[in-house]
């Protein structure tokens, strides 16, 4: 006589050690195997887009810090690009270099968080996480030198950056870059050759390129599926057309590829930072702008960057007043999250956590 | 007087100090004890109680020390400092932890089966303390020298499986149920290689008594039985739910697994049983494979220092593994037990049996006696054999438990809903 089994529905989250914030997943299991997943979010909704309509153009910047709070620099950058397009402002070259430098350091920091938490999700008891955070901490120290803040930086401003880097920033950056290659090599050796990491991630959570494109996924998740889709190359903003770098791609689109693409991107970003250090020249770091910005009425602009998690865009509409009429945020985490269901059905509970970690979402950005 | 306790040095000292008299001159040498004649039964109870006091408190204090050592060592592995506030190097931290857990509310969920839920910590701690009964800490420092000691520890430690399932079932929590189901599947699978890995040791020692096993180790059995030691080490770390086999309480997946709903003192007892379980496992590893209390320079009861040093070595090994390994998935863990450990254990048994027959009976003058030189010859055969068979089976197992690459058929749509029948 066959034994009757029943599917079990489990609410994973919003309070769970590894849902990366307040994501709730309503998962139906058949034993350990996932038969259905429904991501439910909104637990961190703060209404950033509506709040932006009540603030002037510089004040909105502080809201962007709080979207993806492990990558504030790139949020600032995307918003500033949108405002500059709206105003038709040209940023001084030194300001552009400082922006690229800060954004690439932020990308390193964000990817280290992603890799560390992915290993945490794999069950490695915080050791890889602490290794990653040890290096991220040094990057945050540099941010503190730049602007006095570590997480919610608000470093970039429409027209450039808040202030030029202090003189002691450059030696500190050199020290960091000297240490970095060693750290990345160590990380690569410890993670990429670990047998358990390999069997847990290879061919697990495979995202075919067609599905990825159909869901308009972007960032490392799309690159891991095999498409070199990077706004830094295709629509170079700031000085990305003056630096050389490669866009790493994966060949299978599994969790291992997503992990590997991130580590490769860390290497490329460190290369971009050293090129910026070589190329940067003295000059003003910020364009002269009025204290309160008033873009022309009816102007519309879309500013986008390749954020660590994918394409981050701000769509601004002006009505001629000091506040945006509308501010729409295209957040990569939310759109990458929509592909989760396709990735998970048929896999086991343990794979679900790892796959979710490999997509690298940030709930501050998903819920806005 | 029971026949068991006579050997125990603590028992003898306390018993003779209190109740020595002419009637037990054989044990105590005829000296008079504190109690008047006719009260030997009271001395007997007092001496038994002293042993229990030492064993139980030793286990719990050992668990506390282990908690401290693990937290400090993990912190070092993770380039942190670890607890360092209370006492020198934070040694009093476990006491603070325990006090915190004691004053916390002891919650029993409404839907829980109260009886089973409450019994779980008791059963877990009981199974652990029972297993300590046969552990020889030094010469004449064991509670009982059972002639089936090896079988006894395997039997007693498997009680934990029942406790884990009780915890998962009675909690009425889905995460706890996941942990319990995983636990039952995994623990029962790992019992088999665990038991089989000990057969080689028993064959060579010619006895199941742990004291005889120690005395038979003219050279440590880890050299003679490298495969057995490895399988026992892996099997016992699965039994202890430690990484990479910690799927029962996989924190990143199922919160705390089978003890998700436990709080307060019940949680503390479960944790104590787990921590002391690591100590007991290290003790068994030291006894069975590293020669227990025997070692150069120190003899008699001082051999306990050797025992503690060897135990500490294995404890460090367990902590090191925990700090550095990611977790395996349930199907990989099961495949590892059945496709890797089990064949290796069978190879080990077959080879050891032939060797023991050849050296101990076919060739020996005294049947069953294996000399030190013969043990070294066995080691010379077994170590290369272990390396070769681990490499061969490792390669096969790696292929077996690897996830196959998916095959996409053009642009086949991925089903948007899944049916369950």
Rounded Cα–Cα distance for residues A289 and A57 (Å): 12
ipTM rounded to 2 decimals:
0.83
Residues of A in contact with B415 (CB under 8 A): 345
Domain residue extents for chain B: 3-51, 104-400
CA distance A357 to chain B (A): 11
CA distance B185 to chain A (A): 12
Residues of A in contact with B414 (CB under 8 A): 211, 342, 345
* Residue ranges of chain B whose pLDDT lies below 70: 1-6, 20-32, 37, 364, 368, 405-421
Contact check, Cβ <8 Å, B80/A131: no
Contact check, Cβ <8 Å, B417/A36: yes
Domain residue extents for chain A: 49-157+165-336
Question: Per the structure block, which two tokens stand in for B305?
Answer: 């220092």
User: If residue A305 lies in a helix (H) or strand (E), which one and from where to where?
Assistant: strand A300-307
Scanning every residue of chain A, which has its alpha carbon at the shortest distance from the alpha carbon of B398? A199
Long-range contacts of B110-116 (CB under 8 A, 24+ apart): B111/B172, B112/B170, B112/B171, B112/B172, B112/B261, B113/B169, B113/B170, B113/B172, B114/B170, B115/B170, B116/B166, B116/B169, B116/B170
Radius of gyration of chain A (CA): 21
Strand partners, A25: A12, A39
Residue with tokens 């300001």: A95
Contact check, Cβ <8 Å, A208/B408: yes
Contact check, Cβ <8 Å, A350/B324: no
Scanning every residue of chain A, which has its alpha carbon at the shortest distance from the alpha carbon of B325? A124
* A31, A123, A200 ranked by CB distance to B246: nearest: A123
Question: Per the structure block, which two tokens stand in for A169?
Answer: 């920033």
Contact check, Cβ <8 Å, A195/B398: yes
User: If residue B303 lies in a helix (H) or strand (E), which one and from where to where?
Assistant: helix B303-324
Rounded Cα–Cα distance for residues B70 and B276 (Å): 12
- Hey, of B320, B326, B413, B420, which one would you mutate to test binding to chain A, going by the most A CBs within 10 A of its CB? B326
Can you spell out the DSSP letters for B382-399?
HHHHHHHHHHHHHHHHHH
Residues of B in contact with A250 (CB under 8 A): none
Contact check, Cβ <8 Å, B250/A351: no
For residue A286, the 8-state DSSP code is: B
Residues of A in contact with B77 (CB under 8 A): 127
CA distance A216 to chain B (A): 16
Tally of CA atoms within 13 A in the half-sphere of A216 that contains its CB: 8
* A127, A197, A351 ranked by CB distance to B77: nearest: A127
Q: What is the pTM of this model?
A: 0.85
Contact check, Cβ <8 Å, A342/B253: no
Tens-place pLDDT, residues B137-196: 877 777 777 888 888 988 888 888 889 999 988 988 888 888 888 888 888 899 899 999
pLDDT tens series, chain A, 368 aa: 677 778 888 888 788 877 777 888 889 888 888 888 888 888 888 888 889 888 888 889 888 888 888 889 999 999 999 999 888 888 888 889 999 999 999 999 999 999 988 888 888 888 888 888 888 999 999 999 988 888 888 888 888 888 888 889 999 999 998 888 888 888 888 878 888 888 888 888 888 888 888 888 998 998 888 888 888 888 888 888 888 888 888 888 888 889 889 988 998 899 999 999 988 888 888 888 888 888 888 888 998 899 999 899 999 998 888 888 988 999 899 998 888 888 888 888 888 888 988 888 888 888 88
Contact check, Cβ <8 Å, A196/B326: yes
Contact check, Cβ <8 Å, B330/A348: yes
Strand partners, A314: A303, A329
Tally of CA atoms within 13 A in the half-sphere of B6 that contains its CB: 9
Residues of B in contact with A36 (CB under 8 A): 417-418
Rounded Cα–Cα distance for residues A144 and A155 (Å): 10
CA distance B280 to chain A (A): 23
Residues of chain B whose beta carbon is less than 8 angstroms from a beta carbon of chain A are 74, 77-80, 174-175, 178, 181-182, 243-244, 246-247, 250-255, 322-332, 398, 401-406, 408, 411, 414-415, 417-418, 420
Three-state SS for B13? helix
Scanning every residue of chain B, which has its alpha carbon at the shortest distance from the alpha carbon of A191? B326
For residue B415, the model assigns a pLDDT of 41
Contact check, Cβ <8 Å, B328/A196: yes
Nearest alpha carbon to residue B252 among A129, A331, A317, A238 = A129
For residue B112, the model assigns a pLDDT of 86
Q: Which CATH architecture has domain A49-157+165-336?
A: Orthogonal Bundle (1.10)
For residue A212, the model assigns a pLDDT of 87
Nearest alpha carbon to residue B186 among B333, B318, B328 = B333
Residues of A in contact with B404 (CB under 8 A): 203
Cβ neighbours, 10 Å, residue B92: 15
Scanning every residue of chain B, which has its alpha carbon at the shortest distance from the alpha carbon of A135? B79
Contact check, Cβ <8 Å, A210/B411: yes
What lies within 8 Å, CB to CB, of B382 at 6+ separation is: B224, B225, B226, B227, B351, B352, B355
For residue B24, the model assigns a pLDDT of 66
């Amino acid at each position: 006589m066959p034994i009757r089994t029943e599917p079990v529905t489990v609410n994973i989250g919003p309070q769970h050690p590894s849902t990366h914030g307040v994501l709730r997943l309503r998962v139906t299991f058949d034993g350990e195997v996932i038969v259905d997943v429904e991501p439910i979010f909104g637990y961190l909704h703060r209404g950033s887009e509506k709040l932006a309509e009540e603030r002037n153009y510089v004040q909105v910047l502080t809201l962007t810090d709080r979207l993806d709070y492990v990558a504030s620099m790139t949020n600032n950058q995307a918003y500033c690009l949108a405002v500059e397009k709206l105003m038709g402002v040209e940023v001084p070259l030194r300001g552009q270099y400082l922006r690229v430098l800060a954004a690439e350091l932020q990308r390193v920091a964000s990817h280290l968080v992603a890799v560390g938490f992915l290993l945490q999700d794999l069950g490695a008891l915080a050791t890889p996480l602490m290794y990653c955070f040890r290096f991220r901490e040094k990057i945050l120290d540099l941010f503190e030198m730049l602007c006095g803040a570590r997480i919610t930086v608000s470093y970039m401003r429409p027209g450039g950056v808040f202030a030029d880097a202090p003189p002691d920033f450059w030696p500190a950056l050199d020290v960091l870059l000297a240490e970095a290659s060693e750290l990345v090599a160590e990380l690569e050796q410890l993670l990429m050759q670990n047998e358990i990491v390999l069997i847990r991630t290879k061919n697990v959570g495979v995202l075919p390129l067609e599905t990825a494109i159909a869901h308009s996924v972007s960032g490392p998740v799309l690159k891991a599926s095999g498409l070199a889709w990077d706004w830094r190359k295709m629509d170079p903003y700031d000085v990305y057309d003056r630096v050389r770098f490669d866009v790493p791609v994966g060949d299978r689109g599994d969790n291992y590829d997503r992990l590997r693409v991130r580590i490769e991107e860390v290497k490329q970003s460190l290369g971009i930072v050293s090129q910026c250090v070589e190329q940067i020249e003295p000059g003003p770091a910020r364009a002269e702008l009025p204290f309160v910005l008033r873009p022309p009425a009816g102007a519309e602009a879309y500013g986008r960057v390749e954020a660590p998690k994918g394409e981050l865009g701000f769509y601004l509409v002006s009505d001629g007043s000091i506040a945006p009429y509308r501010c729409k945020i295209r957040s990569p985490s939310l759109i990458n999250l929509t592909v989760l269901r396709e990735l998970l059905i048929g896999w086991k509970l343990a794979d679900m956590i790892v796959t979710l970690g490999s997509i690298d979402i940030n709930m501050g950005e998903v819920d806005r | 007087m029971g026949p068991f306790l006579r050997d125990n040095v603590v028992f003898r000292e306390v018993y003779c100090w209190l109740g020595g008299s002419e009637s037990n001159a054989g044990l105590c040498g005829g000296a008079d004890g504190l109690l008047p004649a006719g009260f030997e039964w009271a001395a007997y109870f007092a001496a038994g109680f002293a042993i229990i006091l030492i064993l139980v408190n030793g286990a719990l204090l050992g668990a506390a020390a282990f908690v401290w050592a693990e937290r400090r060592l993990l912190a070092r592995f993770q380039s942190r400092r670890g607890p360092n506030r209370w006492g020198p190097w934070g040694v009093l931290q476990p006491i603070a932890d325990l006090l915190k857990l004691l004053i916390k509310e002891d919650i029993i969920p409404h839907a829980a089966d109260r009886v089973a839920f409450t019994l779980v910590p008791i059963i877990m701690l009981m199974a652990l303390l029972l297993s300590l009964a046969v552990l020889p800490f030094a010469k004449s420092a064991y509670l009982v020298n059972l002639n089936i000691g090896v079988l006894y520890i395997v039997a007693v430690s498997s009680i934990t499986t029942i406790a884990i399932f009780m915890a998962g079932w009675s909690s009425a929590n889905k995460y706890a149920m996941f942990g319990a189901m995983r636990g039952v599947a995994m623990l029962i699978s790992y019992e088999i290689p665990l038991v089989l890995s000990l057969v080689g040791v028993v064959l060579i020692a010619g006895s199941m008594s742990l004291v005889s096993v120690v005395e038979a180790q003219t050279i440590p059995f880890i050299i003679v039985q490298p495969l057995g030691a490895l399988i026992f080490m892996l099997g016992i770390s699965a039994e202890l739910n430690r990484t990479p086999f910690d799927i029962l309480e996989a924190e990143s997946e199922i919160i705390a697994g089978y003890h998700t709903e436990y709080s307060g003192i019940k949680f503390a007892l479960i944790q104590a049983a787990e921590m002391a379980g690591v100590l007991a496992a290290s003790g068994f590893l030291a006894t069975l494979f590293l020669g227990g209390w025997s070692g150069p320079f120190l003899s008699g009861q001082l051999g306990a220092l050797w025992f503690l040093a060897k135990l500490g070595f294995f404890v460090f090994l367990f902590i090191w593994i925990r700090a550095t390994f990611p977790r395996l998935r349930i199907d990989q863990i099961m495949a590892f037990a059945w496709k890797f450990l089990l064949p290796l254990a069978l190879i080990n048994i077959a080879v050891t049996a032939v060797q023991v027959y050849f050296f101990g009976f076919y060739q020996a003058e005294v049947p069953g006696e294996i000399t030190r030189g013969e043990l070294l010859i066995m080691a010379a055969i077994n170590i290369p054999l272990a390396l070769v068979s681990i490499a061969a089976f490792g390669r096969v197992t790696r292929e077996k438990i690897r996830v196959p690459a998916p095959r996409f058929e053009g642009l086949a749509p991925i089903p948007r809903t899944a049916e369950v029948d």
